[in-house]
Structure 1
Amino acid sequence: MPLLRRALALFLLILLGTTWPAHAGVANAPGANLQITVITYGPGDTYWERFGHIAIEVQDKGDGEAVSFNYGVFDFDEKGFLLNFARGRMHYLMDAEPTDVDTGWYVQAGRSITRQRLAFTPEQAAALRDFLLWNLRPENARYDYDYYVDNCSTRVRDALDKALGGILKTTLAARPGSMTYRQQTDRLMSAQPWLMLLLDLGLGPYADHPLSGWQEAFIPMALQRELRAVQVPDGHGGHSPLVIEEHEVSPNRVQAPPPQAPDLRGPMALAGAALAVLLVIARRRIRALFVVLAITWLVLAGAAGLLMLGLWIFTSHHSAWANANLLLFDPLAFALIPTIWRSERGAVTARWVDALLIAQLVAGLIAIALHLLPGIVQQNQPWLLLALPVWLALAWSLRGTTTH
């Protein structure tokens, strides 16, 4: 949401949290008057909107008042926001506002809106309402955000499950998810290819574990889908669907994500092979081009290594820990840059350069071996296909340039 809207949402959070207890309608309506609806908003154009959004609407059927509760507000003006973001220690806020105000912005933005009316008993509806109002209080509204396990969608999921007595988790935990964290991330970010590649490069093996329906509900659209599979007691000894009614209020007018994650192996293999061939040819015929290409590769590889190492050692981004791509892109690449400069002038280089190149090739072989191990391994085939041909081309091009 735009920065101005976030500021207004934060103001409404404080205002509602301090004044709502004295307000009639939703806050004080009996459970029999409450209607619970999940509202799912489709992805937007901006990168932080690509995962979609979700909210719980509580409506008083007596006077028609409808309020949407969501967990997707963050404050750029929070002290240390950028540092906390980099360290993976982001703080998000719960927000509440009239449904018409909330949905109006999404209609204007061209994002789809789908409503799912749920079969809550009066007791469950009142319990959910009371929990949401408690959670809305300023002292309870802030939480530590995590992209995959604690976000606006998982908070809605957990609130619904709490009110339903655990039925939601029991059902969804037994259902297999359709994709991994990595696949869902690549799929949803495919409209921004460079950002998608950066995220894929930075994700470690954590992102490749199979998910249950419960875990995959970190995505609002996945939670919307999974709610359709939930059955609840009907009060007569049987069961009925949790979702009583579902309809799309507003259609999607922005580019929708593809149904599957893009297969990066072909494009990355082609890029790696093309760059490797170009390096070998340029080394023999166009030395200046070889220098530009080789140094660009080494700078990018070294910077990527520093980033991945920093994410592992210094941050709470656990999805980036133990990243096997560190074997393909590491900070030692910077040490080879002077060698490229000297080789362009025909000067011999130190013998340790051969050892460093051999170590890099061995690291690549280790990365392949790790990928071939049985069980759950990091799905980094695209980066193997990109990096290994380039390192082989550099080793081949620099052979015979060291002192003896």
Structure 2
Amino acid sequence: MRSEGGGAGTGSAAVVSRRLRAAVLLACLLLAAQALGAPRIGLVTMEPGEAYWARFGHNALLVDSGDPQEPVFYNFGYFDFDQPGFLLRFLRGEMRYLAVALPMSSDLGNYAAEGRGARLQWLALEPEQAQRLADALAEQVRPENAEYRYDYFVSNCSTKVRDALDAALGGELQRQLDGRSEGATYRFEALRHGAGVPWLLAGMHFGLGPYADRPLSLWEQSFIPARLAQALRDVRRADGAPLVIAERELLPHRGPDAADAPPPMLLWALAAGLLLAGLLTVALRSRPAAWFLLLFWSISGAVGLGMLALWFGTTHESAWANRNLLLANPLSLLLLPACIGLLRQGRHPRESWLRFAAAALAIVAVAGLVLAQVQVYPQQQLDWIALLLPAQLAAALSLQRRRSGA
């Protein structure tokens, strides 16, 4: 990539000049901070870990008040599986996380043991901004203030750090990031980070509704720790100087890396969907038909019932109005008694009801395909349509063929 001057030497000189200015600015700020007794502030970004809850990475703020006191990590990512009612609150979307302050060596030691890399960005805050931020963080970790309601997308370890920085900067961070976008969505970011854990990838992809598919501003996208670190490199202070004035690696990374994009799933889903449809078609020609229907509609109905509970019974807004309900329809559970009767008797007086209901479920699933093309509240669900729609159609058509004796 060439500079506007057209020569490589010009570009190199510009880079050296920027680095020199950043070094001078850092030295001036350090001298001013020492003179006023203000701390140095840095953002520390940790790479993803092996555990599923660590797949998105992590952020913390480092506050260095000078010797002899060890620098402190302010960390908003602590939770306890053994906390009373944790599972119930998790299901309801009311998880409680903690903000904690730990010595730098102690917190870094945990990430080093997990093989997770860490990178420090020193921030060019004015002394009064740095002190205001340090005081706010110290207040946040007091026992009466430390607990907060966690949300995957809008209130997590990275957004709490982002908001604290923005408050110290007088709103300048949000002003510079809120009007810019790369077109990424919550789903895009979630799936690329969950790609290494198949059950996590599938669960997030199926469970996220239209909320997760709108384009995000850089401000919103900074719910991902590495995205916040990336965005800060382009942020400028009120005087035009860069906010990030120095970076260095604290720990080498030996764990998994986040994928650049979610894995392509459409062709695999279509192949699996056609295979499932074929199995249903073959099975419905013989006595085991009811077993296949019972299994298919039991799983489909149970999953749909769970999604319905997420919509109306929890605060998981990202799961509301999920159009995958048209594919995994909770009404499938109403067909189970007829399937059981069919299993016991070979044929059943309510088999006509079964055929009608299966046709209705298939029509509803086809409606999901139509709605997937609508750009009002769009939802990325073609992968699941490719997987489940062929099976719904196969069940309905095969039951109709049984009636005709084909």
Coarse TM-score class (shorter-chain normalised): 0.7 to 0.9
1:87 pairs, out of 76, 84, 92, with 92
Residue of structure 1 equivalent to 2:211: 206
Residue of structure 2 equivalent to 1:380: 381
Query: What is the CA-CA distance between 1:128 and the residue it aligns to?
Result: 0.3
Determine whether 1:280 maps to 2:281: yes
Query: What is the CA-CA distance between 1:70 and the residue it aligns to?
Result: 1.1
Determine whether 1:347 maps to 2:347: yes
Aligned residues: 370
Query: What is the CA-CA distance between 1:106 and the residue it aligns to?
Result: 0.4
Residue of structure 1 equivalent to 2:154: 149
Determine whether 1:171 maps to 2:170: no
The farther-off stretch of 208-217 and 372-381 is 372-381
Residue of structure 2 equivalent to 1:335: 334
2:189 pairs, out of 184, 198, 215, with 184
| Distance in 2, Cα, partners of 1:169 & 1:30 | 30
| Distance in 2, Cα, partners of 1:400 & 1:265 | 29
Residue of structure 2 equivalent to 1:241: 242
CA deviations over 1:130-149 (Å, ceiling 9, x no partner): 10011111111111111100
Q: Structure 1 255/224 Cα, relative in aligned 2: closer, same or farther at 3 Å? A: same
Residue of structure 2 equivalent to 1:250: 251
The farther-off stretch of 189-198 and 160-169 is 189-198
Query: What is the CA-CA distance between 1:348 and the residue it aligns to?
Result: 3.8
Residue of structure 1 equivalent to 2:71: 66
Residue of structure 1 equivalent to 2:324: 325
Determine whether 1:294 maps to 2:293: yes
Query: What is the CA-CA distance between 1:61 and the residue it aligns to?
Result: 3.0
Whether contact under 8 Å (2:38, 2:131) holds in the other structure is: no
| Distance in 2, Cα, partners of 1:157 & 1:374 | 31
Query: What is the CA-CA distance between 1:200 and the residue it aligns to?
Result: 1.3
The secondary structure found in structure 2 opposite 1:226 is helix
Summarize the alignment of residues 29-48 of structure 1 with structure 2, pairs less than 5 Å apart: 32-48=37-53
Whether contact under 8 Å (2:210, 2:378) holds in the other structure is: yes
| Distance in 2, Cα, partners of 1:173 & 1:186 | 23
| Distance in 2, Cα, partners of 1:62 & 1:102 | 19
Where structure 2 has 5 or more consecutive residues not aligned to the other structure, the ranges are 1-32
| Distance in 2, Cα, partners of 1:250 & 1:70 | 17
Q: Structure 1 397/116 Cα, relative in aligned 2: closer, same or farther at 3 Å? A: same
Percent of residue pairs identical = 42
Residue of structure 1 equivalent to 2:268: 267
Query: What is the CA-CA distance between 1:343 and the residue it aligns to?
Result: 4.4
The secondary structure found in structure 2 opposite 1:95 is strand
The secondary structure found in structure 2 opposite 1:294 is helix
TM-score under structure 1 length normalisation? 0.87
Q: Structure 1 166/31 Cα, relative in aligned 2: closer, same or farther at 3 Å? A: farther
Amino acid at match of 1:129: A
Amino acid at match of 1:50: R
Whether contact under 8 Å (2:287, 2:346) holds in the other structure is: no
TM-score under structure 2 length normalisation? 0.86
| Distance in 2, Cα, partners of 1:90 & 1:251 | 31
| Distance in 2, Cα, partners of 1:377 & 1:269 | 21
Whether contact under 8 Å (1:265, 1:382) holds in the other structure is: yes
| Distance in 1, Cα, partners of 2:183 & 2:251 | 26
CA deviations over 1:199-234 (Å, ceiling 9, x no partner): 211111101111000001111111111111101134
Determine whether 1:219 maps to 2:224: yes
Q: Structure 1 255/215 Cα, relative in aligned 2: closer, same or farther at 3 Å? A: same
Query: What is the CA-CA distance between 1:357 and the residue it aligns to?
Result: 1.6
Amino acid at match of 1:303: A
Query: What is the CA-CA distance between 1:31 and the residue it aligns to?
Result: 5.1
Whether contact under 8 Å (2:297, 2:333) holds in the other structure is: yes
Query: What is the CA-CA distance between 1:361 and the residue it aligns to?
Result: 1.8
1:229 pairs, out of 234, 247, 257, with 234
| Distance in 2, Cα, partners of 1:366 & 1:89 | 33
Residue of structure 2 equivalent to 1:116: 121
| Distance in 1, Cα, partners of 2:36 & 2:170 | 16
Amino acid at match of 1:379: Q
Query: What is the CA-CA distance between 1:75 and the residue it aligns to?
Result: 2.5
Q: Structure 1 339/398 Cα, relative in aligned 2: closer, same or farther at 3 Å? A: farther
Residue of structure 2 equivalent to 1:393: 394
1:102 pairs, out of 99, 103, 107, with 107
Determine whether 1:140 maps to 2:134: no
Q: Say what the alpha-carbon RMSD is for the aligned residues.
A: 2.0
The farther-off stretch of 163-172 and 325-334 is 325-334
The secondary structure found in structure 1 opposite 2:264 is coil
Whether contact under 8 Å (1:67, 1:98) holds in the other structure is: yes
CA deviations over 1:35-93 (Å, ceiling 9, x no partner): 11100111111111111111000002343520000111113333322111110011111
Residue of structure 1 equivalent to 2:55: 50
Amino acid at match of 2:360: A
| Distance in 1, Cα, partners of 2:191 & 2:154 | 17
Whether contact under 8 Å (1:216, 1:222) holds in the other structure is: yes
